[in-house]
Structure 1
Protein backbone atom coordinates (compact mmCIF):
# COMPACT_ATOMS: atom_id res chain seq x y z
CA UNK A 1 0.00 0.00 0.00
CA UNK A 2 1.23 3.51 -0.79
CA UNK A 3 0.32 6.97 0.45
CA UNK A 4 0.70 10.15 -1.58
CA UNK A 5 0.63 13.57 0.07
CA UNK A 6 -1.22 16.03 -2.15
CA UNK A 7 -1.55 19.18 -0.04
CA UNK A 8 -2.72 20.37 3.40
CA UNK A 9 -5.00 17.48 4.52
CA UNK A 10 -5.32 15.86 1.10
CA UNK A 11 -3.92 12.40 0.42
CA UNK A 12 -4.29 9.49 -1.96
CA UNK A 13 -4.17 5.96 -0.60
CA UNK A 14 -3.18 3.35 -3.19
CA UNK A 15 -3.89 -0.34 -2.81
CA UNK A 16 -3.44 -3.19 -5.25
CA UNK A 17 -6.88 -2.71 -6.81
CA UNK A 18 -8.12 0.60 -5.46
CA UNK A 19 -7.43 4.30 -4.99
CA UNK A 20 -8.86 6.40 -2.15
CA UNK A 21 -8.62 10.20 -2.33
CA UNK A 22 -9.04 11.88 1.05
CA UNK A 23 -10.04 15.51 1.70
CA UNK A 24 -8.92 16.78 -1.69
CA UNK A 25 -8.17 20.51 -1.72
CA UNK A 26 -5.52 20.88 -4.42
CA UNK A 27 -3.41 18.54 -6.52
CA UNK A 28 0.30 18.01 -5.90
CA UNK A 29 1.59 20.68 -8.31
CA UNK A 30 -1.15 23.27 -7.89
CA UNK A 31 -4.88 23.81 -7.90
CA UNK A 32 -5.66 21.38 -10.72
CA UNK A 33 -2.28 20.04 -11.80
CA UNK A 34 -0.30 17.15 -10.43
CA UNK A 35 -0.08 13.43 -9.94
CA UNK A 36 -3.79 12.97 -9.31
CA UNK A 37 -4.88 14.48 -12.62
CA UNK A 38 -1.95 13.03 -14.58
CA UNK A 39 -2.03 9.49 -13.22
CA UNK A 40 -4.38 8.56 -10.42
CA UNK A 41 -7.65 9.41 -12.16
CA UNK A 42 -6.66 6.86 -14.81
CA UNK A 43 -5.46 4.18 -12.41
CA UNK A 44 -7.17 0.76 -12.73
CA UNK A 45 -9.32 -0.56 -9.92
CA UNK A 46 -11.98 0.91 -7.64
CA UNK A 47 -11.83 4.67 -7.13
CA UNK A 48 -13.17 6.38 -4.00
CA UNK A 49 -13.34 10.02 -2.96
CA UNK A 50 -13.86 10.76 0.75
CA UNK A 51 -14.50 14.23 2.18
CA UNK A 52 -14.75 14.76 5.93
CA UNK A 53 -16.58 18.10 5.95
CA UNK A 54 -17.55 21.17 3.95
CA UNK A 55 -14.63 23.51 4.79
CA UNK A 56 -12.96 24.68 1.59
CA UNK A 57 -9.58 23.29 2.63
CA UNK A 58 -11.11 19.80 2.93
CA UNK A 59 -13.77 19.74 0.22
CA UNK A 60 -13.37 21.00 -3.34
CA UNK A 61 -16.42 20.73 -5.60
CA UNK A 62 -14.07 20.01 -8.47
CA UNK A 63 -14.05 16.37 -7.36
CA UNK A 64 -17.60 16.01 -8.71
CA UNK A 65 -16.31 16.73 -12.21
CA UNK A 66 -14.07 13.68 -12.02
CA UNK A 67 -17.11 11.55 -12.91
CA UNK A 68 -16.52 12.64 -16.49
CA UNK A 69 -13.22 10.75 -16.39
CA UNK A 70 -14.24 8.05 -13.90
CA UNK A 71 -17.95 7.23 -14.20
CA UNK A 72 -17.40 4.38 -11.73
CA UNK A 73 -16.27 6.73 -8.96
CA UNK A 74 -17.67 6.25 -5.43
CA UNK A 75 -18.16 9.46 -3.44
CA UNK A 76 -18.41 9.12 0.35
CA UNK A 77 -19.07 12.48 1.99
CA UNK A 78 -19.94 13.81 5.42
CA UNK A 79 -23.60 14.85 5.67
CA UNK A 80 -22.70 18.43 6.57
CA UNK A 81 -21.61 18.89 2.94
CA UNK A 82 -25.18 18.13 1.91
CA UNK A 83 -26.67 20.35 4.64
CA UNK A 84 -24.47 23.22 3.49
CA UNK A 85 -25.65 22.62 -0.09
CA UNK A 86 -22.13 22.07 -1.41
CA UNK A 87 -23.40 19.00 -3.28
CA UNK A 88 -26.74 17.43 -4.22
CA UNK A 89 -28.33 14.43 -2.52
CA UNK A 90 -27.62 12.11 -5.45
CA UNK A 91 -23.97 13.14 -5.75
CA UNK A 92 -22.64 10.90 -2.99
CA UNK A 93 -23.16 8.40 -0.23
CA UNK A 94 -23.67 10.41 2.96
CA UNK A 95 -22.24 9.55 6.37
CA UNK A 96 -22.58 11.00 9.85
CA UNK A 97 -20.78 9.92 13.01
CA UNK A 98 -21.52 6.24 13.64
CA UNK A 99 -22.41 5.41 10.03
CA UNK A 100 -20.40 3.04 7.88
CA UNK A 101 -19.85 2.03 4.27
CA UNK A 102 -18.42 -1.25 3.09
CA UNK A 103 -18.02 -3.25 -0.07
CA UNK A 104 -15.71 -6.06 -1.12
CA UNK A 105 -12.71 -3.69 -1.18
CA UNK A 106 -12.90 -1.27 1.75
CA UNK A 107 -14.75 -0.60 4.98
CA UNK A 108 -15.25 3.01 6.08
CA UNK A 109 -16.34 3.86 9.62
CA UNK A 110 -17.39 7.45 10.32
CA UNK A 111 -16.04 8.70 13.64
CA UNK A 112 -16.44 12.12 15.21
CA UNK A 113 -14.79 15.52 15.01
CA UNK A 114 -14.17 18.44 17.32
CA UNK A 115 -15.02 20.86 14.54
CA UNK A 116 -17.36 20.11 11.64
CA UNK A 117 -18.16 16.78 10.03
CA UNK A 118 -16.48 13.47 10.69
CA UNK A 119 -13.22 11.56 10.69
CA UNK A 120 -12.60 8.31 8.82
CA UNK A 121 -11.42 4.89 9.95
CA UNK A 122 -10.70 2.90 6.80
CA UNK A 123 -9.96 -0.80 6.65
CA UNK A 124 -8.46 -2.25 3.48
CA UNK A 125 -5.90 -4.92 2.66
CA UNK A 126 -5.89 -5.91 6.35
CA UNK A 127 -4.74 -2.43 7.40
CA UNK A 128 -6.46 0.22 9.49
CA UNK A 129 -5.97 3.76 8.21
CA UNK A 130 -7.28 6.80 10.08
CA UNK A 131 -7.85 10.26 8.58
CA UNK A 132 -8.76 12.83 11.20
CA UNK A 133 -10.47 15.44 9.05
CA UNK A 134 -10.67 18.37 11.49
CA UNK A 135 -10.53 16.23 14.61
CA UNK A 136 -7.94 17.71 16.96
CA UNK A 137 -7.51 19.27 20.38
CA UNK A 138 -8.33 22.75 19.13
CA UNK A 139 -7.58 24.28 22.51
CA UNK A 140 -6.34 27.77 21.42
CA UNK A 141 -4.67 27.82 24.84
CA UNK A 142 -2.81 31.09 24.25
CA UNK A 143 -6.06 32.94 23.59
CA UNK A 144 -8.67 31.15 25.74
CA UNK A 145 -9.42 31.06 29.42
CA UNK A 146 -8.43 27.92 31.30
CA UNK A 147 -12.07 26.89 31.59
CA UNK A 148 -12.54 27.30 27.83
CA UNK A 149 -9.51 25.33 26.70
CA UNK A 150 -10.13 22.59 29.22
CA UNK A 151 -13.65 22.30 27.85
CA UNK A 152 -12.30 21.96 24.30
CA UNK A 153 -9.86 19.32 25.51
CA UNK A 154 -12.59 17.37 27.30
CA UNK A 155 -14.59 17.19 24.06
CA UNK A 156 -11.51 16.02 22.17
CA UNK A 157 -10.68 13.28 24.65
CA UNK A 158 -14.30 12.14 24.44
CA UNK A 159 -13.90 11.72 20.67
CA UNK A 160 -10.75 9.65 21.19
CA UNK A 161 -12.72 7.39 23.49
CA UNK A 162 -15.33 7.03 20.76
CA UNK A 163 -12.68 5.90 18.27
CA UNK A 164 -11.48 3.33 20.81
CA UNK A 165 -14.91 1.68 20.59
CA UNK A 166 -13.90 0.57 17.10
CA UNK A 167 -10.16 0.13 17.48
CA UNK A 168 -7.34 0.72 19.95
CA UNK A 169 -4.67 0.69 17.27
CA UNK A 170 -4.18 1.84 13.69
CA UNK A 171 -1.52 1.14 11.11
CA UNK A 172 -1.51 4.68 9.72
CA UNK A 173 -2.94 7.93 11.08
CA UNK A 174 -3.14 11.21 9.16
CA UNK A 175 -3.63 13.85 11.83
CA UNK A 176 -3.37 17.66 12.20
CA UNK A 177 -0.11 19.13 13.47
CA UNK A 178 -1.11 22.77 13.17
CA UNK A 179 1.33 25.40 14.50
CA UNK A 180 -1.39 28.07 14.49
CA UNK A 181 -2.41 26.68 17.88
CA UNK A 182 0.66 28.21 19.48
CA UNK A 183 3.07 26.78 22.03
CA UNK A 184 1.02 23.63 22.69
CA UNK A 185 0.28 22.81 19.04
CA UNK A 186 1.52 19.23 19.45
CA UNK A 187 -0.83 18.49 22.34
CA UNK A 188 -3.63 16.94 20.26
CA UNK A 189 -1.48 14.64 18.13
CA UNK A 190 0.50 13.59 21.22
CA UNK A 191 -2.71 12.64 23.01
CA UNK A 192 -3.82 10.70 19.95
CA UNK A 193 -0.70 8.51 19.76
CA UNK A 194 -0.75 8.07 23.54
CA UNK A 195 -4.29 6.69 23.51
CA UNK A 196 -4.44 4.93 20.14
CA UNK A 197 -1.45 2.77 19.28
CA UNK A 198 -0.25 4.10 15.94
CA UNK A 199 2.34 2.38 13.78
CA UNK A 200 2.87 5.24 11.32
CA UNK A 201 1.92 8.87 11.94
CA UNK A 202 1.53 11.34 9.06
CA UNK A 203 1.16 15.06 9.87
CA UNK A 204 -1.34 17.20 8.00
CA UNK A 205 -3.19 20.53 8.16
CA UNK A 206 0.05 22.50 8.43
CA UNK A 207 -0.10 24.36 5.08
CA UNK A 208 3.56 25.12 4.22
CA UNK A 209 4.94 24.80 7.77
CA UNK A 210 6.92 21.62 7.04
CA UNK A 211 9.51 22.27 9.74
CA UNK A 212 6.87 22.71 12.45
CA UNK A 213 5.12 19.51 11.35
CA UNK A 214 8.38 17.54 11.30
CA UNK A 215 9.14 18.72 14.84
CA UNK A 216 6.51 16.28 16.08
CA UNK A 217 8.68 13.29 15.09
CA UNK A 218 10.50 12.90 18.47
CA UNK A 219 7.14 12.99 20.29
CA UNK A 220 5.73 10.31 18.01
CA UNK A 221 8.84 8.15 18.36
CA UNK A 222 8.74 8.47 22.17
CA UNK A 223 5.34 6.78 21.97
CA UNK A 224 6.56 3.93 19.77
CA UNK A 225 5.27 5.52 16.57
CA UNK A 226 7.21 6.00 13.35
CA UNK A 227 6.53 9.29 11.60
CA UNK A 228 6.64 10.09 7.92
CA UNK A 229 8.46 13.38 7.57
CA UNK A 230 6.76 15.32 4.81
CA UNK A 231 8.88 17.78 2.87
CA UNK A 232 7.05 18.35 -0.42
CA UNK A 233 3.73 18.05 -2.20
CA UNK A 234 3.41 14.84 -4.18
CA UNK A 235 5.65 12.91 -1.79
CA UNK A 236 4.96 9.18 -2.07
CA UNK A 237 5.59 6.68 0.74
CA UNK A 238 5.24 2.92 1.11
CA UNK A 239 3.26 2.05 4.22
CA UNK A 240 3.47 -1.77 4.11
Structure 2
Protein backbone atom coordinates (compact mmCIF):
# COMPACT_ATOMS: atom_id res chain seq x y z
CA UNK A 1 0.00 0.00 0.00
CA UNK A 2 1.15 3.48 -0.86
CA UNK A 3 -0.16 5.96 1.70
CA UNK A 4 -0.04 9.73 1.23
CA UNK A 5 -0.76 12.21 3.99
CA UNK A 6 -2.75 14.98 2.33
CA UNK A 7 -3.74 17.30 5.18
CA UNK A 8 -5.23 17.22 8.69
CA UNK A 9 -7.27 13.96 8.71
CA UNK A 10 -7.01 13.23 5.00
CA UNK A 11 -5.00 10.36 3.57
CA UNK A 12 -5.00 8.41 0.35
CA UNK A 13 -4.34 4.67 0.26
CA UNK A 14 -3.28 3.27 -3.11
CA UNK A 15 -3.35 -0.36 -4.16
CA UNK A 16 -1.18 0.35 -7.18
CA UNK A 17 -1.18 -3.10 -8.80
CA UNK A 18 -4.98 -3.26 -8.67
CA UNK A 19 -5.44 0.45 -9.55
CA UNK A 20 -7.68 1.08 -6.57
CA UNK A 21 -7.48 4.21 -4.41
CA UNK A 22 -9.12 5.04 -1.08
CA UNK A 23 -9.29 8.71 -0.06
CA UNK A 24 -10.45 9.73 3.41
CA UNK A 25 -11.85 13.05 4.68
CA UNK A 26 -10.44 15.31 1.98
CA UNK A 27 -11.32 18.98 2.25
CA UNK A 28 -8.11 20.83 1.32
CA UNK A 29 -4.55 20.20 0.24
CA UNK A 30 -2.98 18.70 -2.86
CA UNK A 31 -4.22 15.32 -3.99
CA UNK A 32 -1.67 12.92 -5.47
CA UNK A 33 -1.91 12.20 -9.18
CA UNK A 34 -3.55 8.83 -9.74
CA UNK A 35 -3.83 6.63 -12.80
CA UNK A 36 -6.84 7.92 -14.76
CA UNK A 37 -8.26 4.40 -14.93
CA UNK A 38 -8.13 3.88 -11.17
CA UNK A 39 -11.23 2.96 -9.20
CA UNK A 40 -11.35 5.70 -6.57
CA UNK A 41 -13.42 5.58 -3.40
CA UNK A 42 -13.83 8.92 -1.66
CA UNK A 43 -14.84 8.43 1.99
CA UNK A 44 -16.35 11.21 4.09
CA UNK A 45 -16.76 10.51 7.80
CA UNK A 46 -18.96 13.51 8.67
CA UNK A 47 -19.92 17.03 7.72
CA UNK A 48 -17.53 19.14 9.83
CA UNK A 49 -15.60 21.69 7.76
CA UNK A 50 -12.24 20.05 8.49
CA UNK A 51 -13.38 16.68 7.11
CA UNK A 52 -15.62 17.54 4.17
CA UNK A 53 -15.93 20.01 1.33
CA UNK A 54 -18.40 20.02 -1.54
CA UNK A 55 -15.48 20.57 -3.90
CA UNK A 56 -14.75 16.84 -3.70
CA UNK A 57 -17.50 16.30 -6.25
CA UNK A 58 -15.47 18.18 -8.86
CA UNK A 59 -12.94 15.34 -8.80
CA UNK A 60 -15.34 13.25 -10.90
CA UNK A 61 -14.53 15.54 -13.84
CA UNK A 62 -10.96 14.23 -13.75
CA UNK A 63 -11.44 10.67 -12.47
CA UNK A 64 -14.61 9.14 -13.85
CA UNK A 65 -14.25 5.81 -12.00
CA UNK A 66 -15.00 7.40 -8.64
CA UNK A 67 -17.50 6.53 -5.91
CA UNK A 68 -18.37 8.95 -3.11
CA UNK A 69 -19.21 7.27 0.20
CA UNK A 70 -20.98 9.68 2.54
CA UNK A 71 -22.78 9.34 5.89
CA UNK A 72 -26.51 9.98 5.72
CA UNK A 73 -26.09 13.20 7.73
CA UNK A 74 -24.80 14.71 4.47
CA UNK A 75 -27.64 13.36 2.32
CA UNK A 76 -28.54 15.86 -0.40
CA UNK A 77 -31.72 16.19 -2.42
CA UNK A 78 -31.87 17.45 -5.99
CA UNK A 79 -32.73 21.03 -5.03
CA UNK A 80 -29.78 21.19 -2.65
CA UNK A 81 -27.40 19.79 -5.26
CA UNK A 82 -28.70 22.25 -7.82
CA UNK A 83 -28.21 25.16 -5.42
CA UNK A 84 -24.62 24.14 -4.68
CA UNK A 85 -23.80 23.25 -8.30
CA UNK A 86 -22.90 19.65 -7.56
CA UNK A 87 -21.70 18.32 -10.94
CA UNK A 88 -24.22 16.09 -12.67
CA UNK A 89 -21.55 13.47 -13.31
CA UNK A 90 -21.02 13.12 -9.55
CA UNK A 91 -24.62 12.74 -8.45
CA UNK A 92 -25.08 9.15 -9.59
CA UNK A 93 -21.78 8.19 -7.98
CA UNK A 94 -22.84 9.00 -4.40
CA UNK A 95 -23.55 6.19 -1.92
CA UNK A 96 -24.89 6.92 1.55
CA UNK A 97 -24.07 4.88 4.64
CA UNK A 98 -25.09 4.80 8.28
CA UNK A 99 -23.39 3.50 11.41
CA UNK A 100 -23.22 -0.15 12.51
CA UNK A 101 -23.76 -1.43 8.99
CA UNK A 102 -21.81 -3.45 6.42
CA UNK A 103 -21.62 -2.62 2.72
CA UNK A 104 -20.01 -4.19 -0.33
CA UNK A 105 -18.93 -2.13 -3.31
CA UNK A 106 -17.89 -2.87 -6.84
CA UNK A 107 -15.73 -0.51 -8.82
CA UNK A 108 -16.72 0.98 -12.15
CA UNK A 109 -14.02 -1.15 -13.77
CA UNK A 110 -14.13 -4.14 -11.37
CA UNK A 111 -17.56 -5.66 -11.92
CA UNK A 112 -17.81 -7.71 -8.76
CA UNK A 113 -17.82 -6.87 -5.03
CA UNK A 114 -14.26 -6.46 -3.77
CA UNK A 115 -14.50 -3.66 -1.21
CA UNK A 116 -16.13 -4.37 2.15
CA UNK A 117 -16.98 -1.35 4.29
CA UNK A 118 -18.15 -1.49 7.90
CA UNK A 119 -19.09 1.53 9.95
CA UNK A 120 -18.96 2.53 13.60
CA UNK A 121 -20.86 5.35 15.28
CA UNK A 122 -18.70 8.38 15.98
CA UNK A 123 -18.57 9.87 19.44
CA UNK A 124 -18.88 13.25 17.74
CA UNK A 125 -20.51 13.23 14.32
CA UNK A 126 -20.96 10.74 11.50
CA UNK A 127 -19.12 7.45 11.26
CA UNK A 128 -15.76 5.73 11.39
CA UNK A 129 -14.80 3.37 8.56
CA UNK A 130 -13.36 -0.14 8.51
CA UNK A 131 -12.40 -0.90 4.91
CA UNK A 132 -11.32 -4.38 3.81
CA UNK A 133 -9.75 -4.62 0.38
CA UNK A 134 -7.37 -7.12 -1.26
CA UNK A 135 -6.63 -8.83 2.03
CA UNK A 136 -5.88 -5.60 3.90
CA UNK A 137 -7.90 -3.86 6.61
CA UNK A 138 -7.81 -0.07 6.91
CA UNK A 139 -9.46 1.84 9.74
CA UNK A 140 -10.21 5.57 9.59
CA UNK A 141 -11.62 7.01 12.80
CA UNK A 142 -13.05 10.25 11.45
CA UNK A 143 -13.99 11.98 14.71
CA UNK A 144 -14.52 8.76 16.68
CA UNK A 145 -12.29 9.60 19.61
CA UNK A 146 -12.21 9.83 23.39
CA UNK A 147 -13.17 13.50 23.52
CA UNK A 148 -12.63 14.49 27.15
CA UNK A 149 -12.68 18.22 27.94
CA UNK A 150 -12.02 19.95 31.26
CA UNK A 151 -14.78 22.49 30.65
CA UNK A 152 -17.42 19.77 30.15
CA UNK A 153 -19.43 18.31 33.03
CA UNK A 154 -18.29 15.09 34.68
CA UNK A 155 -21.52 13.41 33.58
CA UNK A 156 -20.91 14.24 29.93
CA UNK A 157 -17.30 13.07 30.11
CA UNK A 158 -18.42 9.80 31.70
CA UNK A 159 -20.94 9.31 28.92
CA UNK A 160 -18.23 10.04 26.35
CA UNK A 161 -15.95 7.44 27.94
CA UNK A 162 -18.70 4.82 27.84
CA UNK A 163 -19.61 5.48 24.21
CA UNK A 164 -16.00 5.53 23.02
CA UNK A 165 -15.05 2.31 24.73
CA UNK A 166 -18.20 0.56 23.49
CA UNK A 167 -17.36 1.45 19.88
CA UNK A 168 -13.73 0.36 20.15
CA UNK A 169 -14.85 -2.94 21.69
CA UNK A 170 -16.55 -3.73 18.36
CA UNK A 171 -13.06 -4.02 16.82
CA UNK A 172 -12.05 -6.84 19.17
CA UNK A 173 -10.42 -9.71 17.30
CA UNK A 174 -10.00 -7.75 14.07
CA UNK A 175 -6.51 -7.52 12.59
CA UNK A 176 -6.02 -3.95 11.37
CA UNK A 177 -3.17 -3.27 8.95
CA UNK A 178 -3.41 0.52 8.98
CA UNK A 179 -5.25 2.81 11.40
CA UNK A 180 -5.73 6.57 11.08
CA UNK A 181 -6.34 7.95 14.58
CA UNK A 182 -6.97 11.42 16.09
CA UNK A 183 -4.21 12.92 18.22
CA UNK A 184 -5.58 16.35 19.05
CA UNK A 185 -3.44 18.88 20.97
CA UNK A 186 -6.54 20.88 21.93
CA UNK A 187 -7.26 18.22 24.55
CA UNK A 188 -4.11 19.32 26.38
CA UNK A 189 -2.99 16.66 28.88
CA UNK A 190 -5.62 14.24 27.53
CA UNK A 191 -4.45 14.55 23.92
CA UNK A 192 -3.28 10.94 23.77
CA UNK A 193 -6.13 9.18 25.57
CA UNK A 194 -8.04 8.01 22.50
CA UNK A 195 -5.05 6.82 20.50
CA UNK A 196 -3.49 5.16 23.53
CA UNK A 197 -6.69 3.27 24.36
CA UNK A 198 -7.06 2.17 20.74
CA UNK A 199 -3.50 0.90 20.48
CA UNK A 200 -3.76 -1.02 23.75
CA UNK A 201 -7.10 -2.63 22.91
CA UNK A 202 -6.87 -3.31 19.18
CA UNK A 203 -4.62 -5.43 16.98
CA UNK A 204 -2.89 -2.80 14.82
CA UNK A 205 0.17 -3.10 12.58
CA UNK A 206 0.79 0.61 12.00
CA UNK A 207 -1.01 3.78 13.06
CA UNK A 208 -1.01 7.27 11.54
CA UNK A 209 -1.84 10.14 13.90
CA UNK A 210 -4.13 12.79 12.42
CA UNK A 211 -6.27 15.77 13.45
CA UNK A 212 -3.16 17.44 14.88
CA UNK A 213 -3.87 20.97 13.61
CA UNK A 214 -0.33 21.20 12.16
CA UNK A 215 1.28 20.49 15.55
CA UNK A 216 3.16 17.43 14.33
CA UNK A 217 5.59 17.57 17.23
CA UNK A 218 2.85 16.08 19.37
CA UNK A 219 3.76 12.69 17.90
CA UNK A 220 7.23 12.90 19.44
CA UNK A 221 5.66 13.99 22.72
CA UNK A 222 3.56 10.83 22.76
CA UNK A 223 6.41 8.55 21.72
CA UNK A 224 8.58 9.91 24.52
CA UNK A 225 5.94 9.10 27.14
CA UNK A 226 6.24 5.89 29.14
CA UNK A 227 2.66 4.90 28.35
CA UNK A 228 3.52 4.42 24.64
CA UNK A 229 6.39 1.99 25.23
CA UNK A 230 4.52 -1.07 23.91
CA UNK A 231 3.31 0.52 20.69
CA UNK A 232 5.47 3.57 19.91
CA UNK A 233 7.31 1.73 17.12
CA UNK A 234 3.98 1.31 15.33
CA UNK A 235 3.31 5.06 15.26
CA UNK A 236 4.24 6.61 11.92
CA UNK A 237 6.08 9.94 11.92
CA UNK A 238 3.76 12.32 10.09
CA UNK A 239 5.60 15.59 9.54
CA UNK A 240 3.87 17.46 6.72
CA UNK A 241 1.56 17.54 3.72
CA UNK A 242 2.35 15.25 0.82
CA UNK A 243 4.42 12.80 2.83
CA UNK A 244 4.43 9.31 1.28
CA UNK A 245 4.70 5.98 3.08
CA UNK A 246 5.00 2.52 1.56
CA UNK A 247 3.49 -0.08 3.85
Match of 1:227 in 2: 235
Match of 1:191 in 2: 197
Match of 1:76 in 2: 69
Q: Given that residues 67 and 93 in structure 2 are in contact (C-alpha distance below 8 angstroms), is that contact kept between their aligned partners in structure 1?
A: no
Match of 1:64 in 2: 57
- The answer to which of 46-55 and 86-95 deviates more is 86-95
Shift in Å, 1:72: 2.0
Match of 2:143 in 1: 134
Structure 2 residues not aligned, in runs of 5+: 107-112
Structure 1 residues not aligned, in runs of 5+: 28-33
Cα pair distance change 1:35/1:81, threshold 3 Å: closer
1:121-155 Cα distance to aligned partner (Å, 9 max, x none): 01112111100000000011x22343332221111
Greater gyration radius: 2
Cα pair distance change 1:100/1:174, threshold 3 Å: same
**CA separation in 2, counterparts of 1:10 and 1:209?**
15
Ranges of 4+ aligned residues in structure 1 off by more than 4 Å:
83-91, 218-221
Q: Given that residues 46 and 70 in structure 2 are in contact (C-alpha distance below 8 angstroms), is that contact kept between their aligned partners in structure 1?
A: yes
Match of 1:23 in 2: 25
Q: Given that residues 121 and 144 in structure 2 are in contact (C-alpha distance below 8 angstroms), is that contact kept between their aligned partners in structure 1?
A: yes
- TM-score using structure 2 length: 0.84
Give the alignment of 1:61-140 within 5 angstroms: 61-82=54-75, 90=92, 92-102=94-104, 103=106, 104-140=113-149
**CA separation in 2, counterparts of 1:177 and 1:113?**
15
- The answer to which of 96-105 and 218-227 deviates more is 218-227
